[in-house]
Each structure stands twice: as C-alpha cells, then as structure tokens.
Amino acid sequence: MISIDRRRSAIVAIFLVITFCILSWTRSSAFRSAPPLDPNYGKLSAIDQDSKFAILLHDNDTKRRNSSIPFIVLVSARVDQEKRARLEKDGAQVVEVEDVPTAWWVRTYVTRWADQFTKLRVLEWTQYDRILFVDADTLLTRPLDGIFQEPEAHQPVDTLHTPSRKPKADEAQLPAQYLFGARSDNAFTGERAHPFPPLQTPNFSAGFWLVAPSKELYAYLMSVMQHYHRFDPETMEQSLLNYAFRREGPMPWRELDYKWSATWPNQKDVQGEVKSLHEKFWTAGPKELRQMWKVKHNEMETWWRRWDKK
C-alpha cells in the first residue's frame, strides 16, 4: 500500500470491487450535550498538481483532469491476486479493506450484496479531506473530479440537536459537524421512466456519495447496526446510510446536482449529459445505453491489449 501524504492528496475517488427502559432513554437523550466542534474537521488542504498517482481510466472523455486526485479500487480479501494485478497494471491503486462486522439480523436474499458494507471503511480514511465513492457497476460518460469543486463539497454543516431531530440515546454520539452528499434514487420516481431533470426523493442511492471522512461517523454507523431492525436489512448498507443521514434526522444528507449521477438511467439522462450512469449494462438497461456500454467495453479491451504489449 502506498503511503498517502495528506498535503499532497487531499481528495480521492474510490471504486468498490466485490466485491433500558423508555424513561432511561428519554432522560439520557435530554441531557446528552452536543459534542465539541473539531476546528480541523472538513478543512480542505492545498492540492499539489505534481502527484505521481496513476488513474484506472485512460479514456480522454472520462479520465480525471486533476492528476493530484488518486483513483483507488477497494477490494475485499476474497478478490484474487490475478484480478488485483490486472487493476494495478491498468493504473489503479488497489487497497484491501477488512470486512465490516455485521449484526446477526443483517441479512439479505441478494447474495451478491454480501460485501456491500465494506465500502463504509472509507469513512475511517481521515488522511483524505474528501472521498467520492462510486460503485463498480457504473458507466462514466464524463470526468468526475469536478465534483470536488461543488459547493456541497466544501463546507461541513453542524449536526442538528433540535427537539425534533435529537439523536437517539442508545446510539453512539454523533460528530459535531459532518459532510455527506448523494443523489436522489430514481427508483422512487418511475425507475426507468423517471423524468428529466429528475425529481428529488426522500432516499438516496448508496452507489454514489461524497463524504468528509470521520471515525466518529463510522463508529456511529456501527452502533446503529447493533439495534434490531433500526434499518431495513434487505437493502443492506443503503438502508443504513439512509437511516443515518435521513432528511428528518440530525444529519440530513445534501443533494448533489443531478448532472453527477443517475440510477435507473435512461436516454434522457444521456442527452442531459449526466456524468455517471449506475446500471449493470451487461445484463440490464435500455437498448441504446447497453450498446453505448458495449462500445466502451470494446474500446477498453482494445486498450488493454495494446497496453499489455508495452
């Protein structure tokens, strides 16, 4: 693993490969004081343009414009060495992360989601000021590094402690400030037939989100998992994150511009120049978009063959 200097690499884009009684609760909730502000949380460091990190994507249409932003691929222990070597040869920085321990009741009928909680490990990476997490089943149409210049990426906001938004007393203490942005999930507005521009929804997709890492945030999420059915286990980490950052809660999530990502993508999203499309195009999606994915996939394979000859 390459050592990361915070002064050189302030932000990072990441892809994931998977690969007591009521009275006591009320009293403790009422008297819990807000945590002290950390003056250093969420501050953006200067970004050195002379970083030596490579990027996985080499397509001129989609590769990063700011070379100081490292591109990291998360892998679980179950990803074999051959696949890791392939990713590294292509220019990715591959980092193995430990599994996230889950409570006994957190189960799903979708077996391929078994490693989904692994992505939460990036919340512990406080050597970075910002992290953009992107699921692996995503097709890029344009560069993503400009997202770090968005207003939602700059200023952390205070955690709310109003009577209607008080944190639950049986969960770990929340950080005094946080930064978490995501995109509304088109599953709630017609799925493939969603309008464009898309509508805002109560819940977001856990396949694309921006965060200022915080170990307090990670500890909080782990504490939530200890409470039976505090969130819906069938959709795994997406439900957990949506609970933690629920709009009516003490840390409401912030809406990123729709141009950055779309779930259930359709042709209108492409025409509207959405920069990343979250879909398994090798098995699903509109015919035109699947063909677009196929063209890009073939270009990638051709590039690999040429790269391997060097």
The topology under which CATH files domain 11-308 is Spore Coat Polysaccharide Biosynthesis Protein SpsA; Chain A (3.90.550)
- The 3-state DSSP class for residue 263 equals strand
Residue from 38, 1, 22 nearest 173 by CA:
38
Structure letter (DSSP) for residue 133: E
SS3 state of residue 115: coil
**What is the mean pLDDT for each group of 10 consecutive residues in the chain (310 residues)?**
37 48 30 54 42 46 81 90 88 89 81 77 94 93 93 94 89 95 97 97 96 96 94 90 97 98 98 97 96 91 78
pLDDT at 48: 34
pLDDT value at position 92?
Answer: 83
Report the alpha-carbon distance of residue 128 to residue 146 in Å, rounded: 17
All structural domains of the chain with their residue ranges: 11-308
- Distance between CA atoms of residues 59 and 235, nearest Å: 33
DSSP code at position 223? H
**Cβ-based neighbours of 293, under 8 Å, separated by 6 or more:** 139, 281, 282, 285
Q: Is 169 buried (19+), middle (13-18) or exposed (0-12) by CB count in 10 A?
A: middle
Is 232 exposed, middle or buried (CB count within 10 Å of its CB: 0-12, 13-18, 19+)?
middle
